[in-house]
Every structure is written in C-alpha cells, then in structure tokens.
Amino acid sequence: MSNAAHTATRKAFIELAIRCQVLRFGEFELKSGRVSPYFFNAGGFSGGQALAELGRCYANTLVAFDLIPTVLFGPAYKGIPLVTATAMALASHHSLDVPYSFNRKEPKNHGEGGLLVGAPLKDDVVIVDDVITAGTAIREAITLIRDAGAQPSGVVIGLDRCECGSGTRSAVEEVRDELGLKVASVITMHDIIEWLESTQDLSQYLEPMQRYRDRYGV
C-alpha cells in the first residue's frame, strides 16, 4: 500500500470516529488522573456501515505494515467485532482470506467447551484490539495464544495515544520492548493533531491537543 493510500486510511478513520462519537474532544479525566483533551471509545462503532468502514481501515493498516498472519485473534469483548470486521475487509478489499478467532471471558463447559471460538490458533497470530492502555489485555491474549500452541507475532490497534505512562515509555513501546511484538496502529495522537491542523471545524481543540502532547507525548 502506498503512503498516499495509508494517509487516506488515517484520515478516513479519524473522520469515521468523529461521526460515530468514538473520538470526542473536551476535558476527560482518565483512570490515571490526567485530564485529557480527547477521548476514544471504540464501543461507539455500533452500526453495520461503521463496522464495514472500520474493518477496511484495520485491514489497510495490516497490509501497510506487512502484518498478515495465519490467524487473527480478537480479545473479548471489544476485540470481537473488530477482528470480525477486519477479517471480512481483508477478504473483500485485499483478496486475503484470513481466519479469525476470539475468546470467551468464561470457559464453556458444555457443547464444544473451552475458551476459544472460531478458527484454531496456529502458527503466527496477530491480535486485533482498540487501544493498549496498561497492556494487561494483550498479555492475557498472548498467554491464550501460546497455550494453544501458536505464536503471537504482532498487534494492530485503532489508536496509539503516544503518551508516557509512569515512566518515559508509552504503553505501546512497553509492549514492543518487553514482549517483542510488532505493533501497528491505524492512527496516533500525532495524526489527530495533524488532522486538526488541516480543518477549521474543530480548530478550537488544536491548542489543547498540542499542549497535552508537549506535556505527555512520546
């Protein structure tokens, strides 16, 4: 995928997220206690058309980062619609028929049983999720994948907030450094700021975003 096509994907994702009120601007207190000028909640991608567009953005990102695995895995619960939409978009827009799997929060003790639903996990697996905050969900997914005899090879997320945690590294950098996984994101905080620089409609949020990046960004 060309740089121009990937730039178009990032722009489409930001505008989709704003339309669906997944990406909002204002003042939001985070779990960390920080007051953020923006908030991202992937649960707002709740319509069929939105999921189709969302899946295409994720699929384009996997192709752009050359991160096509044997199996896609979506951690419950938000990862389930994300991985489903991504698999469909890979097939319809890139002619790549990649199987997918997801987990239950509680093991099923009747019928086929177990924690996993969908394709068997094997060979290399890419995890599909919305964001990486503390990395807890990613670590749990890695354990599930390895317990199934497969190998996690990467993660694709919707947003990389690109901000430091308690130390000097971001959550994404910690996953890359400590777990040795390639992490691709559809957009980053820097992409949001760049988009705000190019539009007049929400220009009042540009300066707070820049200040937040200057204080916490990596």
Q: At what angle do helices 136-147 and 171-179 cross, to 10 degrees?
A: 30
Structure-block tokens of residue 90: 């890979």
Q: How much is the pTM?
A: 0.93
Domain ranges of the chain: 3-216
Alpha helices for 75-135 (secondary structure H): 79-94
Residue type, 103: N
Other beta carbons within 10 angstroms of residue 182's beta carbon come to: 15
Structure-block tokens of residue 150: 């497969």
Residue-wise pLDDT for 20-52, tens only, equals: 999 999 999 988 788 999 999 999 999 999 999
Residue-wise pLDDT for 68-123, tens only, equals: 999 999 999 899 999 999 999 999 999 999 999 999 876 655 555 578 999 999 99
> Which of 93, 110, 122, 182 is the catalytic position?
110
Reply yes or no on whether 110 is catalytic.
Answer: yes
131 forms beta bridges with 159
Q: Is 5 exposed, middle or buried (0-12, 13-18, 19+ CB in 10 A)?
A: exposed
> Which of 108, 122, 182, 190 is the catalytic position?
108
**Distance separating alpha carbons of residues 139 and 159, to the nearest angstrom:** 18
Q: What is the pLDDT of residue 89?
A: 98
Domain 3-216 sits in CATH at 3.40.50.2020
